[in-house]
Amino acid sequence: MYFDAMTIGNFANYVESLHPDLIVLDGYPNVDERVALSYKLKIPFAVLTTLYDPVTLKVPINPVAQAYNSAYFRSKASLLETMLAVTSIIAPMFLHRFNDKGYMKQMFPNDPNVPAANELMSQAEVYIIQSDPINDYPIPAVPNMKMIGGVSVSPSKPLQEPFKSFVEKSEKAGVGVAVLSFGSLVMNLPKIAERKIISALSRLSVNTIWRANITSPDPDKILTSTWLPVNDLLGHKNVKVFISHSGANSLYEALYHAVPTVCVPLFYDQYVNAERAEDKGFCVNLDIVKVTADELFTAIEHVVSSKEIKSTVSKASEIYRELYKNPRQDAAFWLDHVLRYGGEYMRYSGQKLPMILFIMDYILVFMVGLTTGLGVLLLGYISKLIFSAYFRREVHLKSD
């Protein structure tokens, strides 16, 4: 098993031979057992992640407020949908208690006091989160949560060939440029989606640079390549729109360079990212399966020409650049800081509690609700018995 190899195999021995002062872990949820390496070697750890996980961090959140971050829940959601959304936020806190899988006890059978992995994860020296209230929604935080923005963004560098010639030629002709990329994982689309995109791109008022493993149907209008310097392209003044799969890094790059976006999410967190970007006014959100070629064309043209979207994303970009000047440097600062001083002084008391105590208020509300519900049912049952007895007595008296 992977975690056995980490803790009792050559990897752990190799890490120990380096005599590290700090271990930096990724914060991907539901695989907390990687903290076993830190526990075995008695070395403090930090977490560097793109995900806000209030359960692991034991952030005291209001689940209703969390649900209402979404524009859908603020305007369209029914009471049932809202209740289900709130339940989905609360449920992981209860499931956390049973999500340990017993790995730590298996890996350290001679340690009677070994804690659960999911409890250990809340003891990081610092949580460095690639998030911010401009690209993301504002979120509750605790002192050892440091939000640094997106580490993928940076000032653009001069374009290299063939991108330089294509962009400059378009600029000289008075034609803007669109950048289309579905990320590093998607090089080939289904033929029906490919034909749909080509139909839309061939009619646009802008030329397009498309990351795709195909031969361009019109090299003067559509430049295709299996690799794109996306950040550098978005930083060019002649790029008018970004057509993106809505990956977190891609949206950060679009925000940094103030480029309006057409979001076409394909999987995982991309749907949430696209919904949030549309809610903030940075993009138009499309479903690649349902959208027609004409609708795709219309949406791209709308984003290219929309002064409202451009103004919104430009203002957000100014705020972001002012607050998050160098996310990578900020991450390095906090890692260096806890190396020197530790992070115990930032850890609030709730992070030291077992999860069962941390969520005691929810348990009390549930118990009060359950007790009240049972009391109402019991009262109703007793009232029914009394009414039935009274009704039978009245009938009996009348018959006499």
- Per residue in 165-206, pLDDT (tens digit) is 999 999 999 999 999 999 877 777 888 989 999 999 999 999
Asked if 253 contacts 130 with a C-beta cutoff of 8 angstroms, the reply is no
- What's the rounded mean pLDDT across residues 384-398? 71
Which band of pLDDT confidence, cut at 50, 70 and 90, is reported for residue 40?
A: confident
List, for residues 252-269, the tens digit of each pLDDT value. Answer: 999 999 999 999 999 888
Instruction: Give the least confident one: 106-115, 129-138, 189-198, 237-246.
Output: 106-115
Evaluate whether residue 29 is within a structural domain. Answer: yes
List, for residues 57-103, the tens digit of each pLDDT value. Answer: 888 877 777 766 766 666 666 777 777 777 777 777 666 666 666 77
pLDDT given at position 101: 63
Evaluate whether residue 156 is within a structural domain. Answer: no
- What's the rounded mean pLDDT across residues 153-176? 94
Average pLDDT along the chain = 86
Host domain of residue 16: 2-150+326-356
Regarding predicted confidence, which is higher, 315 or 65?
315
Domain CATH code at residue 284: 3.40.50.2000
| Local structure of 283: helix, strand or coil | strand
Same domain, 341 and 388: no
Same domain, 136 and 227: no
pLDDT given at position 1: 45
Same domain, 345 and 380: no
pLDDT given at position 350: 85
Same domain, 142 and 15: yes
Evaluate whether residue 155 is within a structural domain. Answer: no
- What's the rounded mean pLDDT across residues 142-146? 94
List, for residues 29-39, the tens digit of each pLDDT value. Answer: 666 777 888 88
Same domain, 105 and 212: no
Per-residue pLDDT at 162 exceeds 70: yes
178, containing H or E segment: strand 177-181
How many CB atoms within 10 Å of residue 366? 13
Evaluate whether residue 198 is within a structural domain. Answer: yes
List, for residues 346-390, the tens digit of each pLDDT value. Answer: 998 888 887 777 777 767 777 888 888 888 888 888 888 887 777
Please give the C-alpha separations between residue 315 and each of 179, 275, 302, 308, in angstroms, as whole numbers.
21, 19, 19, 11
Same domain, 93 and 195: no
Same domain, 291 and 180: yes
pLDDT given at position 30: 63
Same domain, 111 and 214: no
Asked if 177 contacts 208 with a C-beta cutoff of 8 angstroms, the reply is yes
Evaluate whether residue 347 is within a structural domain. Answer: yes
Per-residue pLDDT at 6 exceeds 60: no
Evaluate whether residue 157 is within a structural domain. Answer: no
| pTM of the shown model | 0.82
- What's the rounded mean pLDDT across residues 10-21? 85
Domain CATH code at residue 70: 3.40.50
Evaluate whether residue 158 is within a structural domain. Answer: no
pLDDT given at position 29: 64
Evaluate whether residue 233 is within a structural domain. Answer: yes
Asked if 292 contacts 251 with a C-beta cutoff of 8 angstroms, the reply is no
Same domain, 195 and 310: yes
Same domain, 352 and 310: no
Per-residue pLDDT at 125 exceeds 70: yes
Number of domains in the chain: 3
Regarding predicted confidence, which is higher, 18 or 311?
311
Per-residue pLDDT at 397 exceeds 80: no
- What's the rounded mean pLDDT across residues 309-329? 95
Same domain, 332 and 243: no
Report the share of the chain in percent with pLDDT over 70. 89
Residue 32: exposed, middle, or buried by beta-carbon count in 10 A (0-12, 13-18, 19+)? buried
Same domain, 101 and 242: no
Per-residue pLDDT at 8 exceeds 60: no
